[in-house]
């Protein structure tokens, strides 16, 4: 499952490298859709931060409104999670708050978590770097969008390989 945390309209203009984070998340979501990988999206206090950035998600994606920084403290979020033998890939913003606290919550629940380093962002690079270090120390596996996508494909013989490849070029 791909979990996309708080990629919201009023937050994204303030994210360091926000356009790149958006592009990486968009590629991940499109690849997940092509490969039938479920996508779960969170929105932190959407009345204050707005909805998910336009064009990132569609009607087929499950959106969970939350008011906790750690999404695992939101019953609707935990109810939407798959079985614990499913690897969870996490992307979104802000790396040092909602992303990190959600990753730590998922680890506490017993999930294997891959944190997609080039698809997370914070207002400052220092906060992102600290979040990545902390998440890894706590048991998350750092990865990149391309590594995740090619891992989902498994082989260049996958019937959707060319469509997915176009997303990362």
Listed residue (162, 161, 3, 11) closest to 78, CA to CA: 3
Q: What distance in Å separates the CA atoms of residue 168 and residue 132, rounded to the nearest whole number?
A: 22
DSSP classification of residue 140: P
- Find the mean pLDDT for residues 62-85: 97
Q: What mean pLDDT value characterizes the chain?
A: 97
Q: Which fold has domain 2-168?
A: Rossmann fold (3.40.50)
- Residues 2 and 26 sit within 8 Å (Cβ to Cβ): no
Q: Which two tokens stand for residue 13?
A: 């203009």
Burial of 123 (0-12, 13-18, 19+ CB in 10 A): middle
pLDDT in tens, 114-132: 999 999 999 999 999 999 9
Q: What is the pTM of this model?
A: 0.96
Residue 76 and residue 45 in contact, taking contact as beta carbons nearer than 8 Å: no
């Amino acid at each position: 499952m791909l979990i996309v945390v708080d990629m919201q309209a009023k937050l994204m203009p303030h994210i360091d490298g926000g356009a790149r984070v958006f592009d990486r998340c968009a590629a991940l979501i499109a690849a997940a859709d092509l490969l039938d990988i479920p996508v779960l999206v969170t929105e932190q206090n959407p009345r204050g931060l707005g909805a998910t950035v336009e064009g990132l998600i569609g009607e087929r994606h499950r959106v969970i409104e939350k008011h906790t920084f750690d999404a695992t403290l939101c019953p609707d979020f935990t109810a939407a999670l798959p079985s614990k033998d499913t690897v969870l890939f996490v992307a979104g913003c802000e790396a040092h708050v909602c992303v990190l606290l959600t990753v730590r919550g998922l680890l506490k629940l017993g999930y294997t978590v891959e944190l997609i380093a080039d698809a997370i962002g914070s207002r400052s690079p220092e906060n992102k770097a600290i979040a990545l270090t902390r998440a890894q120390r706590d048991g998350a596996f750092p990865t990149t969008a391309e590594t995740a996508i090619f891992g989902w494909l498994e082989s260049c013989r996958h019937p959707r390989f060319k469509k997915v490849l176009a997303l990362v070029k």
